[in-house]
Chain A
Amino acid sequence: MTDEIRKEEVLAVYPRVAEAMADALGCDVEQLVLDIPLIEGLDAESIDFLDIVFRLERAFKVKIPRGKIVEDARGDLSEADFEHDGYLTDVGLQRLREYLCEVPPDRFRAPMKVGDIPFLFTVETFCRLVVRALRAAPPA
């Protein structure tokens, strides 16, 4: 199975992702679009990400470990190769750019703090997270 996520897979999960996000953020589904940044566009805070993940787990009956996005982006890189003193290394930033391919390239600015990665997250980031979790889930 290819790791590439197709647009139709994203669109297939979007309605339920949007519903969970709207409930978590206290906004209307109509305010959401795939490419809106959650922090800068919708005032999301860290507690909202926790809430969103738990809602997605319930909605899709999947497990999404905390820190999954950063962990997956790092892949087989060692922690030292991925970040140094709280900042992404060049190779770490490149890995993140490849992993979060739905985020416009100009939003990845070096030096980038690991703690600032959530500023990149969009609605589509979570759709893709769900698609990956569904792929990884054992067949019913």
Chain B
Amino acid sequence: MLTVDRFNAFSFVDRITAVEPGARVHGQFTVPAELGRFSPCLVAEAIGQLAGWGAMARSDFRSRPLAALAAEALMWCDAVPGETLSLGVEFDRWDEDAVVYAGWARGGTRLLLTLNGCVGALLPLDEFDDPEEVRAHFDRLCHGGVPGPRFCGIAVPEPVIVEREPRRDLRATFQVPQSAPFFADHFPRRPVFPATLLLEAEIVLAGALARDLLPPSSRLLRVADVKLRTFILPGQTVTIEARVRSATDDSVAVALVAHVAGRRAATARIDMGSGSGG
């Protein structure tokens, strides 16, 4: 069935377990056991998608939120392939054109990731998707969910470093594919490169800078001040500038700016370190 295939490509909510319209929504996603890794960015995507379901239902499927700002994402520990993630979103505020929310993901009793101060810009759903198809899938999610695990993994574009000043800054580029399975889901009527995949590339680059400054055991701790200024479209070339903003013996903060077609498309800050989490 076309519908099922489409929601396999880039959907990270298998079941919605509770909805309090406009206030909170809870759900689940089972990470396929076959995956070698399920990145924190995709865990954040799952929380964002759950917020999306809550927001779309509140608007009776007239509008949908698209990621605009995120104050911070705290990475506590990694998701394990095969486990079922519990997801939660609390809506803080609704404006005419934006929704503010916080969220979390757990794997069993382990807190995996928390999102704070996320702002989704509310845009007309029918520009991006078929509202009736989306509504029908929401009903499935709320009434028993869809069979999982379904996600087959993603070929994330790998950034190529073109300039590098070790311990200080670097510049890298990557090409968004002209076509990819995830565009069928994100979004059918208006394909947009997912912001979480941009972050995935940025985390790789922040790690490349931090490697010269931190012990090998260091990890991603926090993504902060995420701002998405424009949609990144299929086939576009993305240039990322990463600069060490501050560094101590056990942590490094990297500022990142992504440019597309000569203009700033996104900014973020990534903290790497040897802390125990978040």
Report which A residues bind B (CB closer than 8 A).
23-24, 26, 45, 47-48, 50-51, 54, 58, 65-67
Contact = CB atoms under 8 A, between A and B. Distances in A.
At the interface, is chain B mostly helix, strand, loop or mixed? strand
Given A50-B69, A54-B119, A66 B95 contact: yes
A67 B96 contact: yes
Contacts, number: 33
A47 B266 CA distance: 11
A50 B257 CA distance: 19
Given A26-B257, A54-B117, A54-B119, A47 B68 contact: yes
A52 B95 CA distance: 15
A47 B229 contact: yes
Secondary structure at the A interface, as helix, strand, loop or mixed, is helix
A38 to B, nearest CB: 15
Contacts of B252: none
Contacts of B97: 66
The size bracket of the interface on B is 10 to 19
Given A26-B257, A26-B267, A50 B68 contact: yes
Contacts of A47: 68-69, 121, 227-229
Interface string B97-140: 11010000000000000000101010000000000000000000
6 interchain residue pairs of minimum CB distance: A66-B95, A47-B229, A51-B69, A47-B68, A51-B227, A26-B267
25 contacts: A23-B225, A26-B255, A26-B257, A45-B229, A47-B68, A47-B69, A47-B121, A47-B227, A48-B227, A50-B68, A50-B69, A50-B98, A50-B119, A50-B121, A51-B69, A51-B227, A54-B69, A54-B71, A54-B100, A54-B117, A58-B71, A65-B95, A66-B95, A66-B98, A67-B96
A58 B69 CA distance: 14
A67 B260 CA distance: 29
Contacts of A66: 95-98
Contacts of B255: 26
B270 to A, nearest CB: 15
A51 B267 CA distance: 12
A67 B229 CA distance: 19
A85 B141 CA distance: 43
Contacts of B69: 47, 50-51, 54
B259 to A, nearest CB: 13
Contacts of A26: 255, 257, 267
B185 to A, nearest CB: 24
Contacts of A58: 71, 117
Interface string B14-37: 000000000000000000000000
